[in-house]
């Protein structure tokens, strides 16, 4: 669970210090400390070669957005304070820096009030500035990302509520747009690619708790047995708080929420099609759990009749150290040619720390046989003496497990009792179900050894 403890020196300088650290670890990046703008060191060359792209927003969503600055993705990113939009002056400074007079610039904005106002105002200020200085109207385009389908009220868009927020789908937007720009696409073409991803990407998140904010602490907390569906990346409330379910129930429910939403159905009227899946770590979910969520999400998508063309899993857009995940589905074009073009943009490597480039190799065929040992034939048989010993040993382990667990919690990682119980249970069940050659002690011990290895 999120706690109110942080690695921090001064909350006021945390964002700048973090961005400095990003540039130290990634020497292709430069940092305008005053405006909190990260940009590629070869920016002057990029402006001449291609349409440029930038995004931004409040900090606390790392690696978004500064972690996606690099060839094949963003040209620059501007950061505000934690969970706060950058000012219009910061955005204007970033736009001035990255604007390509020859090719134009695309501005990617997440659908939050502060971002929409400040980025939009900065673009208008830049246009006015250029015209007032005798320059032609600049070629600047904007797209607003609103992939969220987990808003509190499904009718928010129509009723003037909070609206659909920009979530992890934003990363897919500027990944595709960045690849298109790097490949020589015009501003109009790059914007069209971005707009397709915006209108065909749908995301829902869930969290086991809110995230602690450095210098502030926990805004609210869930009970240990609760999960919130639709929690936003700034700790915004979701649409349902419910009892925590097994992942095998929870994850299919999230996928179903997406594909049953009006927005998804509008983009995929046939109810089936080809999709891209992104499973995003909201900040504090272990890689072990991420693997499970990815497996179940992928299986569910396919069980619902969709063809899964690509699957991405990792940490793309966080809510600080929020213990949660989000699931995004991008509906791919029905036209095979258009689908191939879009997937080529997705597959094109991006040279930035935040994007995980997938490795592909040719399938050389199965080599499973080489990993198998000789087949051992086991003739199960019972034996009263063995069965009594196994039963008594099992009962002893069950009785002593809590004490063993307690001792291991004091001295180790606390799992010793449970591990012992797992092994004892497996042996007990095998004996009970007549799966051991108990009339042959060497064979019985060999089989028990294998069972223990598998169970523990």
**Nearest partner of 18 among 85, 70, 71, 77, judged by Cα:** 77
| Residue 124 CB contacts under 8 Å (≥ 6 apart), including other chains | none
Q: Give the span between the Cα atoms of 281 and 83, in whole angstroms.
A: 17
CB 169 within 8 A of CB 111: no
Q: Which of 61, 103, 200, 234 is catalytic?
A: 234
Q: Give the span between the Cα atoms of 297 and 290, in whole angstroms.
A: 10
Q: What would the two tokens of residue 59 be?
A: 């900090």
Q: Give the span between the Cα atoms of 453 and 456, in whole angstroms.
A: 6
How would you classify the pairing of strands 37-40 and 76-82?
A: antiparallel
Strand order in the sheet with 201-207: 240-243, 226-229, 201-207, 324-331, 274-281, 307-314
Helix ranges, 242-286 (H): 247-259, 262-267
Q: What would the two tokens of residue 43 be?
A: 């920016």
Q: What would the two tokens of residue 206 be?
A: 């869930």
Active site residue 133: no
CB 74 within 8 A of CB 55: yes
Helix ranges, 133-286 (H): 156-159, 169-182, 187-200, 247-259, 262-267
Q: Which residue has the tokens 């040993």?
A: 393
Q: Give the span between the Cα atoms of 274 and 309, in whole angstroms.
A: 6
**Nearest partner of 44 among 85, 114, 97, judged by Cα:** 97
**Nearest partner of 174 among 260, 67, 53, 294, judged by Cα:** 53
Instruction: List the catalytic residues.
Output: 234
């Amino acid at each position: 669970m999120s706690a109110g403890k942080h690695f921090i020196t001064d909350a006021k300088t945390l964002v700048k210090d973090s961005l400095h650290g990003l540039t130290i670890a990634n020497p292709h990046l430069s940092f305008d400390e005053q405006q909190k703008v990260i940009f590629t060191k070869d920016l002057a060359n990029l402006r001449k070669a291609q349409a440029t792209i930038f995004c931004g927003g409040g900090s606390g969503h790392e690696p978004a957005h500064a972690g996606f600055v690099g060839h094949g993705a963003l040209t620059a990113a501007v950061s505000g304070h934690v969970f706060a939009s950058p000012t219009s002056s910061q955005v204007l400074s970033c736009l001035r820096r990255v604007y390509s007079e020859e090719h134009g610039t695309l501005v990617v904005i997440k659908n939050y009030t502060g971002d929409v106002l400040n980025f939009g105002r900065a673009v208008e200020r830049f246009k006015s500035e250029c015209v007032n200085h005798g320059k032609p109207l600049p070629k600047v385009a904007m797209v607003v990302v609103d992939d969220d389908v987990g808003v509190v009220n499904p009718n928010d868009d129509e009723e003037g509520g909070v609206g659909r927020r920009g979530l992890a789908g934003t990363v897919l937007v500027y990944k595709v747009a960045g690849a298109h720009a790097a490949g020589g696409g015009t501003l109009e073409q790059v914007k069209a690619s971005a707009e397709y991803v915006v209108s065909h990407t749908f995301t829902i998140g869930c969290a086991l708790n809110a995230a602690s904010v450095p210098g502030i602490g926990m805004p609210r907390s869930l009970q240990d047995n609760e999960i919130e569906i639709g929690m936003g990346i700034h700790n915004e409330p979701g649409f349902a708080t419910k009892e925590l379910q097994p992942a095998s129930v929870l994850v299919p429910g999230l996928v179903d929420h997406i594909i049953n939403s009006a927005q998804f159905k509008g983009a995929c009227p046939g109810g089936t099609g080809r999709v891209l899946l992104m499973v995003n770590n909201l900040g504090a979910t272990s890689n072990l759990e991420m693997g499970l969520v990815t497996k179940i999400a992928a299986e569910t998508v396919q069980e619902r009749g969709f063809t899964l063309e690509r699957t991405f899993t990792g940490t793309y857009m966080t809510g600080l150290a929020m213990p949660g995940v989000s699931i995004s589905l991008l509906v791919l074009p029905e036209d095979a040619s258009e689908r191939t073009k879009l997937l080529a943009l997705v597959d094109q490597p991006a040279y930035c720390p935040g994007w995980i480039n997938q490795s592909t190799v040719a399938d050389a065929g199965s080599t499973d046989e080489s990993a198998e040992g000789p087949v051992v034939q086991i003739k199960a048989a019972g034996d009263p003496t063995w069965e009594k010993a196994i039963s008594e040993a099992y009962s002893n382990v069950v009785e002593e497990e809590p004490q063993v667990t307690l001792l291991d919690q004091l001295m180790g990682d606390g799992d010793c009792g449970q591990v012992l119980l797992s092994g004892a249970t497996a042996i007990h069940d095998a004996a009970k179900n007549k799966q051991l050659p108990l009339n042959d002690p060497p064979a019985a011990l060999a089989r028990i050894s294998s069972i223990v290895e598998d169970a523990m």
